[in-house]
């Protein structure tokens, strides 16, 4: 799916403009590395200076510009499903591991998003169609995000150029 994204200008534009996942924005705020010495490859950025990285050709780590980071998806396809299916995912992570609180945070932030972008449901469907995937239920995406942040993140500690650890998302 990620390869299709590079050749599908409509999907790329939707992801960048609506879902804040820009494959042209690859420069992190500062030089970073994994504490394990594993591979870290930037694949997208967001408007606030955050960067999405693939770790060791597997899970996707998100590092924000404020010094927090964590695994948000098991792979590239999963991160695309997350940003399209839960476009306010950043508002949800503070409530991990409480799934009920995560769901409530999503419902609140998504309602706010709809006030500013009334066509968001249509845009989510359009992005899923362009990326050629079925939309995944929000509940499933929230459970996956929860698992990634609680079970996978401890294995992928991000360090800045001074060797200081990023805080957990």
| Residue 111, pLDDT above cutoff 90 | yes
Separation between Cα atoms, residue 27 and residue 49, nearest integer Å: 9
CA distances for 12 relative to 3, 36, 131, angstroms: 11, 32, 9
Phi-psi category of residue 37: left, alpha or beta, with phi > 0 → left and psi -120 to 50 → alpha: left
Question: Whose CA is closest to 72, among 56, 81, 64, 60?
Answer: 60
- Residue 4 confidence (pLDDT) above 90: no
| Predicted confidence (pLDDT) at residue 8 exceeds the cutoff of 90 | no
pTM score of the predicted model:
0.94
Give helix 99-116 / helix 138-147 axis angle, nearest 10°: 120
Mean pLDDT of the chain: 94
């Amino acid at each position: 799916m990620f390869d299709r994204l590079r050749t599908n200008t409509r999907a790329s534009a939707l992801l960048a403009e609506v879902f804040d996942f820009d494959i042209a924005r690859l420069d992190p705020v500062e030089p970073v590395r994994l504490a394990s010495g594993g591979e870290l490859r930037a694949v997208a950025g967001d408007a606030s200076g955050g960067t999405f990285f693939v770790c060791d050709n597997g899970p996707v780590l998100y590092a924000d510009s404020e010094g927090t980071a964590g695994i948000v998806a098991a792979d590239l396809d999963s991160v695309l499903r997350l940003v399209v299916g839960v476009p306010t995912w950043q508002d949800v992570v503070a409530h991990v591991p409480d799934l009920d609180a995560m769901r409530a945070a999503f419902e609140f932030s998504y309602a706010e998003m709809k006030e500013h972008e009334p066509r968001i449901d249509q845009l989510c469907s359009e992005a899923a169609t362009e990326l050629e995937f079925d939309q995944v239920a929000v509940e499933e995406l929230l459970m996956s995000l929860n698992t990634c942040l609680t079970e996978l993140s401890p294995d992928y500690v991000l360090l800045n150029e001074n060797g200081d650890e990023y805080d957990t998302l």
